[in-house]
Structures are given as structure tokens and as C-alpha cells.
Chain A
């Protein structure tokens, strides 16, 4: 054991033995800790490697009168006391209690939070969540959603015909729209009284450094591609996409585009760092209501994008039937009109416009909330991307956002 004999002094001998014991102790302890950590780390990662599709959890709706709903902020009607009137009416009508949480503030961060549980088929703490088309498409591809029973949602007949069949979810088996909106262009009416009608107008020299675009790939790229004459719902590929990437890259490196943001773009419009921008329609309705009617919005002549946030039932959710009851309730035109009057986004429910006419005719005529045929015709849905395309196109777009 020992490299050389111990000194004769018994006290020193003791000390050395003591020290050696302590050393061994520390070593084994460290080794144990390291091994434990490695095991823990492996255990933590092992879920990420799971590629087999998880199976749906058992539905407890018959015995448990509860539905847990994760949604975006300011995305449902709220009264002055902080209650949700339509949800309260639903609870009174059906006896199903709703736990409503504003848990989504970004598709990516929400997905990052729940993806490991989803891969294992575990309950993520929500029976339904409203996410944007492309994220819903990804979750359907991965088998992270439960199939809806349309027999429990008779009001689904009120769904806009154009939304009944979408690329990422043929037949709407897995998802149902909650609210939607346009991405279009907006301008500061005081500084730009002439208004804007196309994406080309954003590249005007006098707007240099005062233009904002969205960090949502499908909206910014969709508008630019439409401007270049590409039908984004149709059949297009790398050439069309790369042409639009080149245009955006040029405008960003020339300093024409000031910044590329998500929800935070509203602050730039308010403090006038940007005078014109690619924006979401509902935000502009809200901004105009809060800051005086300061901004104009239009869907460009060559087309804008139309997106929806959709209800889906995560694979581990335990109250699917209650979710279906909830969806059915919100597809009643009168209820849909009540929500639309508050959130200012486009409702996917046929008949809501007529119901809104009875509450507030001015609202019913707002093109951004109840668009007419002509407006809807200009709005296109970004086509469904395959997994490989999504990775490729996201990477190209992010490389502009991150600069070099």
C-alpha cells in the first residue's frame, strides 16, 4: 500500500493513517458523485432519444369534470374584475371547471418546456393548448397529439370552409382553430400620411433604418415571397425561398431594416424607432385602441399571410372529451362573437359576424376582425413544410437574424 515505511513516531504514524483515510474517503466520494451525475445525466437525456410515438393517455372526462387550458396572454375575453365571462358561462352550462392559464408566450419556448414529457407520453399539465399552425404541424408529425372525436363537436360545422382542410392536418382530425390573424404591413400615419400598399414600399430610401420585420419566419418570408410573385400556399421550393432570403439579407445588411422582432416590435412602433413594419393585424387593432388611432394597416396588394392558433389535445392529456365540449361551446357563433369583440383577432366561426352585428355594428365591419371576401382572398396560408425543409429554411432565416 504505502510507498515507504511509516516514521517511528506513533503520533505522526497516526496522522498519516488519518490523512490517508480521509483521502480515500474523498476519492470514493468524488468518484461516487461523478458516477451518480453521469447516471443522472444519461437518465435525463434518454427521453430525448425516444423515437417511437407515444400512446394517448386514458380519458377521465366521465368522472373528472375539469379541463386545463394553456393559452396566450390577452387571448380571451376578460372583464374588469379579471374574470373570463365566456368561461364562466361555460362552467355554469356544463359543470366542467376550466383551469385557464396564460402559459404560452412563444411557440418555441412552450415547445421547449413540454417536448420531453410529450415524447414520453406524459401529462404536460394541460388538456388543451392553442399553438400556431406550423408548431401544431410539427407536433402532429411527431405523434404528440390525440385524435379529436368530431361527433362530440357538432358545432364544428360552423368552421370556415377554407380552414376545414389544411396541409398539416387533413380533415382537422387533430386540431381546431381558436383565433387567427393576418400578417401585413403597418405604418405610422403621422409620419407617413401616404400609407403603404406593398412590401416594396418598405424598402423606400426615406425609410432607411426605420423598418421592422417579424422574427416569425413564415410571416416575414411569406410576405416577401408573395411580393416576388410566389404563391406561398402552392408548390414552391428552394429557388423561390432563397430569392426571398437574398432580398431580406440585402435589406438587413444595407441597414434598411432596423430590427427583427417577435412580440416586442410593438414598443418600437410606439417609440417610433420603426415607422413602418411587417406586423400582425390584431396587435395593430389593440395598439390603435391604446395609443390613439396612430397606425394604418393593410394586407399588401400582392398578398399577406393568414395564420391560426389551434386547439390541440396533447398526447398525455386526460380530459379529451371535456376539451371537445369546450371547443364545441366556442364554435357557437354568439360565443365566438363575444370573444372576437375582446381579442380583436379573426374568428374562424361562420355566423360570428352576424352575431357581432347585434352587439356592435362598428366591430362587425372591422376588416381586421371580420374580413370580407376581398380581404380574405389576398391572405394566403404558408404551405406545410416537411421536417427537412423546416430545418433548412429555419436555419437560413436564423442566420439573418443572428447576423455574422
Chain B
């Protein structure tokens, strides 16, 4: 298109020059926004992460320096939290995928015959967004508390030891993360499965493929964009989540994730370099993990 337009004009340079300032102008708000609210804080964070404590200074007083040992210190002090964050996020992502795939498949493929049911189920998937996720998480904390109907029933049926708890355990935190991110997994899966061409599946079974083979070799590869998008939308925020694991919500002292450590260092301990170094580590690890994952999944064109 551009090439054709270029060829027809006799004075190409002015035309091109006229175009670029407008394009720049249109880009300006976006660039300004990114510089102000992403690039500047990021540089500030990076600079903070290398600060050293002021000599004989009070709490929260630091000087600019190049103290790279900050990174070693936080990894040594908080490696269990780092491992835990990515572990919980991974488990929650897999659980959310296992839960969401059949759901999205049903809504996107099986329910095509009944458009009303399809839209109704989609609304049900999105409906939780109408209530703040803090409130929903608090509600789970009440529903699953020691003396709640569910817990007392489970204990009465001897499905749980009488002195067992749910809130404050790793299971509760993983449950909370999984629950909160299911819509983020279901919706991208639905959008790809909704466009799935069923004739491929028919062709597969015509060629005597076992239904499982059809699923493995046709449905899954065709829905790969949805799987990748859904897992990214779940894994990235889940690794940095600090609400579910917070002691005030579903977590306890032994379920604290990186987000909680960053919060404590930033707000309570006023140890800004440690908080900044942990944030940088969190971002870098996510970037690397996601980069490898996307490369492996062969869906670079998605990003």
C-alpha cells in the first residue's frame, strides 16, 4: 500500500515528511504516558535498588551508591519466598487451565447450538468482575473459616481431621489465586475455541483418529494461542500477587509470597533498596520465564 502510494507521487519526500509529524503527534500521548508512568518509575526503582544505608542514619535513610550486594542479600534472605511465589503461580496456572479448558470448550464449541446458553454462561464467567476481588477473597475466608458450615461438615464426615484448618495454609492461598484468575484463563481460551473449525475435527475422525488423538493433534494446537494468552494472563499477575497470600486474607505466616515481602520491606521496614531489588528480580524472572515459554510454544507472533 505505502509502496504504491509512494510510486504514484512525483515528489515523495514532502509527502513523507508531512506524514511523520502527525504520526509523532499521535504517538506523543502514548509515549509521554509510558515515559512518565513506566520508564521514569522503572529507572527510579533501579537506582533505588543499588542504594546503601546512610552512615549512622535513621530508619528509611539511604544514599545513592552502587551497592549490588543488595541483590545478593535479598536473595539470601528471601529465596524461600521467591521459590514459593513462582511455585504457587505455576500450580495455580495449571489448575486454572485444567478447570477453564473444559468450561471454555463447552461454551465455545458444544454450546454453539444454543446461543442463549452460550451468552448466559459467558456472563456467569465474567460476573465475578462486578464485585471487587478483595471482597470475594474475604468472602472465601469467611466461607472456609474453622467454624463455617463447610468446614464443620467436612470434619463431621471425617473427611478432615478435627484440628485441621484451611485458612492460613498454602492450599488456601493456591485456591484463592486459582479462583481469582479463572476468568483470565477462560476468556482467551473461549475466544480461540469459539473460532475452532469443526470440519478439521470431522476430517480427523473420518481418517479413523481416536477422539483423544483428534483432541491432542488438532484441537490443542489450534487453541494454542488461547492457552498461551490465558496462562500468561494468569501466571504473570499470580507470581506478583500479594492479596491472597496476605495474612489479612487467605494466607498465614508461612505462606508469604514475594509481593508480601516487598510490601513489608517498603512500608514497615522502610528498607527501600531491598524492596526495589526484589521488584527488579521479580520482573526479570517473569520476563525470562515468559520469554522462554513463548519461544517454546512457537507463538511469538502473538506478542
Contacts and interface: CB of A to CB of B under 8 A. Distances in A.
A-B complex: 9 closest residue pairs judged by Cβ atoms: A387-B58, A37-B39, A41-B44, A41-B43, A271-B145, A40-B40, A264-B248, A272-B147, A403-B254
A353 interface: no
A291 interface: no
B121 interface: no
Given A33-B35, A41-B43, A42-B47, A208 B268 contact: no
19 contacts: A11-B7, A14-B13, A37-B40, A37-B43, A38-B40, A41-B42, A41-B43, A44-B40, A48-B62, A49-B62, A257-B253, A258-B252, A267-B138, A268-B145, A271-B148, A272-B145, A272-B146, A273-B147, A402-B264
Interface of A: 11, 14-15, 18, 22, 25, 29, 33-34, 36-38, 40-42, 44-45, 48-49, 51, 106, 108-109, 112, 115, 138, 141-142, 208-210, 215, 252, 257-262, 264, 267-268, 271-273, 387, 390-391, 394-395, 398, 400-404
A14 B12 contact: yes
A260 B40 contact: no
A29 B57 CA distance: 40
Given A261-B248, A267-B142, A41 B20 contact: no
Given A259-B247, A395-B269, A404-B80, A271 B7 contact: no
Given A33-B31, A387-B58, A45 B253 contact: no
Interface in B79-122: 80-81
A210 B165 CA distance: 9
Given A22-B20, A273-B167, A259 B80 contact: no
B41 interface: yes
Contacts of A395: 269, 271
Nearest to A38: B43
Nearest to B34: A33
B244 interface: no
Given A45-B48, A51-B54, A403-B253, A112 B267 contact: yes
Contacts of B267: 106, 108-109, 112
B268 A403 contact: no
Interface of B: 6-7, 12-13, 16, 20, 24, 31, 34-36, 39-44, 47-48, 54, 57-64, 78, 80-81, 138, 141-142, 145-148, 163, 165, 167-168, 247-248, 252-256, 260-261, 264, 266-269, 271-272
Contacts of A25: 20, 24
B119 to A, nearest CB: 37
A387 B59 contact: yes
Given A42-B47, A49-B63, 18 more contacts: A18-B12, A18-B16, A33-B39, A37-B42, A37-B43, A38-B40, A45-B47, A49-B62, A108-B268, A258-B252, A259-B253, A273-B147, A273-B167, A390-B59, A391-B59, A394-B269, A401-B253, A401-B264
Contacts of A29: 24, 31
Contacts of B20: 22, 25
A252 B253 contact: yes
Nearest to B255: A403
B40 A115 contact: no
Contacts of B141: 267, 271
A288 to B, nearest CB: 18
Contacts of B256: 401-403
Contacts of A400: 253
Given A45-B47, A264-B248, A387-B58, A394 B165 contact: no
Contact of B252 (A109, A259, A394): A259
Contacts of B147: 271-273
Given A33-B35, A109-B267, A209-B163, A401 B142 contact: no
Nearest to B264: A398
A48 to B, nearest CB: 7
Contacts of B47: 41-42, 45
B35 A387 contact: no
Nearest to A400: B253
Contacts of B58: 138, 141-142, 387
Contact of B145 (A22, A36, A138, A273): A273
A402 B6 contact: no
Contacts of A11: 6-7
Contacts of B31: 29, 33
Nearest to B7: A11
B268 A394 contact: yes
A262 B248 CA distance: 8
A259 B168 contact: yes
B284 to A, nearest CB: 18
Interface centre among B39, B54, B268, B271 (most CB of A within 10 A): B268
Contacts of B145: 268, 271-273
A15 B44 CA distance: 40
A34 B31 CA distance: 11
B165 A258 contact: yes
A349 to B, nearest CB: 32
A94 to B, nearest CB: 37
A390 to B, nearest CB: 5
A266 to B, nearest CB: 11
B115 to A, nearest CB: 42
A261 B247 contact: yes
Contacts of A401: 247, 253, 256, 264
A188 B89 CA distance: 37
Contacts of A387: 57-59
A112 B264 CA distance: 12
Contacts of B59: 138, 387, 390-391, 394
A42 B64 CA distance: 10
Contacts of B57: 51, 387
A395 B270 CA distance: 10
A250 to B, nearest CB: 13
Contacts of A33: 31, 34-35, 39
A395 B59 CA distance: 11
B44 A44 contact: yes
B184 to A, nearest CB: 26
B81 A402 contact: yes
Contacts of B268: 108, 394, 398
Contacts of B39: 33-34, 37
B143 to A, nearest CB: 9
A271 B146 contact: yes
